[in-house]
Amino acid sequence: MKLHEYQSKNIFRDNGIPAPDGEVVDTPAAARAAAERIGLPCMVKAQVLTGGRGKAGGVKFCTTADAVEEKAKSILALNIKGFPVRKVLVTSAADILTEIYFGIVTDRSTRRAVVMCSAAGGMDIEEVAVTHPEKIMRVPLDPFTGTLPDYVARDIAVFIGLPKEHWNDFIAIARGLAQVYMKNDASLAEINPLAMTVNPNGPGGKKLMALDGKIVIDDNAMYRHPELEPLRDPDEDSAAEKLARKADLNYVSLDGNIGCLVNGAGLAMATLDVIQHFGGKAANFLDVAGGAKADKVTAALRIILADPGVKVVMFNIFGGITRCDEVAKGIVQAINEIKPTVPFVARITGTNKEAGDAILASANIITAQTAAEAAQKAVALANG
């Protein structure tokens, strides 16, 4: 689950990481009122769960209350990479001197949470990692304590060339970031940029502030974080993806016209590949998991058929422990209940395959012997 910038900053502040004051609003008038409370100049920032907000015109600097209202109006009308802007963050504008990248991410190859820090902040860290890997310091978090010791944080501060009067603040931020990551079961917690800003309250009139941030929570750990569930943005998943989650199905919306119903994530991915290989495009990824029982197949079919773009549905089922004839009965039962108007192509293989094929054929479902044959038939129907 991804968190918005304003949600991430609230969590940062709760863990001792300073961030500028801000308010989240959903109307231009409320944006104006917020700016008057916070003080000008200020930033108006689109709150959407995707990158590239600045380039899309979703982040504006404003010096007057009129400008805040006007910019909020235009930003709230935006749709950035398919995400409608429903909220903006009005936050005091900072006078930025330098920008640091500071994040913690799950690193699959070393099997550790890894702290990454670079003086090349404000940029896409993945790009820095490719073009200037030597500018990034990486330190694994201890898997047992989950903490970042002060001496490690100080070493990072030295690596990025931070002046020593700011080391103690940086150490406190590092401690806070490790806490944010571990306490919330994050797979990513990043401050980008962590900016050195002009601020009379800091040492030498300067202070480190988190000007933007991102937190991603491990979905598998959500069972122990009921307090985070209200932070879920309903726009993160499509309506169909939400329904699927409720029905305990793995579903991802895609933009093709061939609906797919498969058991197993690997086979479901391979099914999309086969369809693409034969010149078609899948409308979705769907793993019905386990035994492909009738009630699950019914729920899955309803979700697939709710997409008006679907011209044909392809089943690709491997009957292992659940036999093919049982799976076929489930499919026929689901189709009888929903009475869909689009054609079906089914490829079912594994234990008791022949009996399964016979049941499907008697229900007027087009059958295929291989995934390739099924995909070719589905592509022909979708394009015909």
Partner 1 sequence: MAILADKNTRLIVQGITGREGDFHARQMHAYSPIIVGGVTPGKGGMILDYGVPVFDTCGAAVRSVGANASVIYVPAKFAPDAILEAADAGIKLIVCITEGVPVNDMIRVRAYLDAKGDVTLIGPNCPGMITPGQAKIGIIPGAICKPGRVGLVSRSGTLTYEAVDALTRAGLGQSSIIGIGGDPVRGLNFLEVVKLFNNDPDTDAIVMLGEIGGSDEEVAARWIKDNVKKPMAGFIAGQAAPEGKRMGHAGAIIEGGMGTAASKIAAMTAAGIRMATLPTDIPELILAGLNA
Q: Report the interface residues with partner 1, using CB under 8 A.
A: 106, 108-109, 111-113, 126, 143-144, 146, 182, 185, 187, 218-221, 223-224, 250, 252, 254, 262-270, 272-277, 282, 285, 287, 318, 320-321, 349-351, 370-372
Instruction: Specify whether 223 is catalytic.
Output: no
Q: By the 8 A CB rule, do 72 and 25 touch?
A: yes
Q: In whole angstroms, how close is the CB of 236 to partner 1 at the nearest point? A: 11
User: Which of 364, 369 has the CB closer to partner 1?
Assistant: 369
User: Which of 42, 288 has the CB closer to partner 1?
Assistant: 288
Q: In whole angstroms, how close is the CB of 160 to partner 1 at the nearest point? A: 21
Reading across the β-sheet that carries 88-92, which strands appear in turn? Answer: 22-25, 88-92, 42-46, 59-62
Q: In whole angstroms, how close is the CB of 295 to partner 1 at the nearest point? A: 16
User: Which of 43, 105 has the CB closer to partner 1?
Assistant: 105
**Given 5, 69, 99, 190, which residue is catalytic?**
190
140, β-bridge pairs: 114
Residue 347 tokens, joined: 């490829």
User: Which of 33, 267 has the CB closer to partner 1?
Assistant: 267
Q: What angle do CA 289, 292, 296 make, to 5 degrees?
A: 90
Q: Residue 35: which of 8, 13, 61 has the closest Cα?
A: 61
**Given 5, 69, 99, 101, which residue is catalytic?**
101
Q: In whole angstroms, how close is the CB of 62 to partner 1 at the nearest point? A: 31
User: Which of 62, 180 has the CB closer to partner 1?
Assistant: 180
195, β-bridge pairs: 99, 209
Q: How many CA atoms lie within 13 A of 257 on its CB side?
A: 15
Q: In whole angstroms, how close is the CB of 40 to partner 1 at the nearest point? A: 36
Torsion of CA 64, 68, 69, 74, to 10 degrees: 140
276: which residues sit within 8 A by CB, 6+ positions away? 282
Instruction: Specify whether 236 is catalytic.
Output: no
Q: Which residues are catalytic?
A: 101, 190
